[in-house]
């Protein structure tokens, strides 16, 4: 597996656009995630990721629990250990996803909540099949209580996580201390 040998950038070493994003992260989270410190080498990547992430959170039409189901389902299919740990922690501590839902996604098992199961299933299919889904898959998703605009929200979530998952695959950021309680191995 390829590995870029990029050090974590800091507020002192990051380019101007990246520095502004890192400062905001430091002020909001109390730390700079290692993933951001690696992405900061290319301001277009970090800015694209953070803007898209925030837009997904604010405009996708999904609840915080559903958002985590999308993010965890994509990270699972993309085998991203960093994002699985980070979003499992966020699911537990911030979005209040029932732990059995988060653990089912992490383990590739059946989700007990039918609506969330349908969301995870379509998200995983869109991720694996690069957006090409069957009419039957769409019908099952809609039957679970979602609408067609939610499909577009899933696509946003897949795009956001693909940016971070692929970046993490080549930069290998260390899982941040707050997320280590949810380290994941597929």
Q: Hey, which bits of the chain come out as E strands?
A: none
Q: Please, what sign has the CA dihedral across residues 8, 12, 16, 18?
A: positive
pLDDT at residue 59 in the model? 98
8: which residues sit within 8 A by CB, 6+ positions away?
A: 32, 34, 37, 38, 173
> What are the structure tokens assigned to 130, written together?
């690069």
- Would residue 32 count as lying in a domain? no
- Would residue 95 count as lying in a domain? yes
Residue 1, pLDDT > 90, answer no
CA 145 to the chain's CA centroid: 23
- Would residue 70 count as lying in a domain? yes
CA distance 121 to 162: 17
- Would residue 130 count as lying in a domain? yes
Number of domains observed in the structure of the chain: 1
Tokens 């389902």, residue located: 73
pLDDT at residue 25 in the model? 96
- Would residue 16 count as lying in a domain? no
> Binning pLDDT at 50, 70 and 90, where does residue 108 land?
very high
> What are the structure tokens assigned to 64, written together?
């915080």
Would you say 156 and 67 are in contact if contact means Cβ atoms under 8 Å apart? no
Helices H / strands E in the chain, number of each: 9, 0
Q: Residue 62 belongs to what H/E stretch?
A: none
pLDDT at residue 139 in the model? 98
- Would residue 23 count as lying in a domain? no
- Would residue 37 count as lying in a domain? no
Which candidate, 19, 48, 146, places its Cα nearest to that of 56?
48
Full residue range of the structural domain in which residue 99 is found: 63-182
Question: pLDDT tens for residues 137-152?
Answer: 999 999 999 999 999 9
- Would residue 94 count as lying in a domain? yes
Q: What is the CATH number of the domain that holds 117?
A: 1.20.1290.10
Work out the end-to-end distance of the chain between its first and last CA atoms, rounded to an integer number of angstroms: 16
Residue 185, pLDDT > 90, answer no
Question: pLDDT tens for residues 49-64?
Answer: 999 999 999 999 999 9
* pLDDT, the chain, mean: 97
């Amino acid at each position: 597996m390829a590995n870029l040998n990029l050090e974590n950038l800091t507020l002192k070493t990051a380019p101007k656009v990246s520095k502004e994003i890192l400062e905001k992260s430091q002020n909001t989270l109390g730390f700079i995630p290692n993933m951001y410190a690696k992405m900061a080498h290319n301001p277009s990547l970090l800015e694209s990721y953070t803007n898209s992430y925030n837009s997904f959170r604010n405009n996708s039409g999904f609840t915080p629990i559903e958002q985590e189901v999308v993010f965890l389902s994509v990270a699972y299919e993309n085998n991203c250990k960093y994002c699985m740990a980070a979003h499992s922690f966020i699911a537990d501590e911030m979005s209040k996803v029932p732990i059995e839902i988060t653990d089912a996604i992490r383990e590739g098992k059946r989700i007990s909540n039918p609506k969330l199961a349908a969301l995870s299933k379509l998200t995983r299919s869109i991720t694996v099949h690069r957006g090409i889904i069957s009419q039957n898959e769409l019908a099952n998703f809609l039957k679970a209580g979602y609408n067609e605009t939610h499909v577009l929200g899933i696509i946003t979530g897949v795009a956001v996580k693909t940016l971070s998952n692929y970046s993490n695959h080549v930069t290998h950021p260390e899982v941040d201390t707050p997320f280590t309680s949810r380290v994941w191995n597929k």
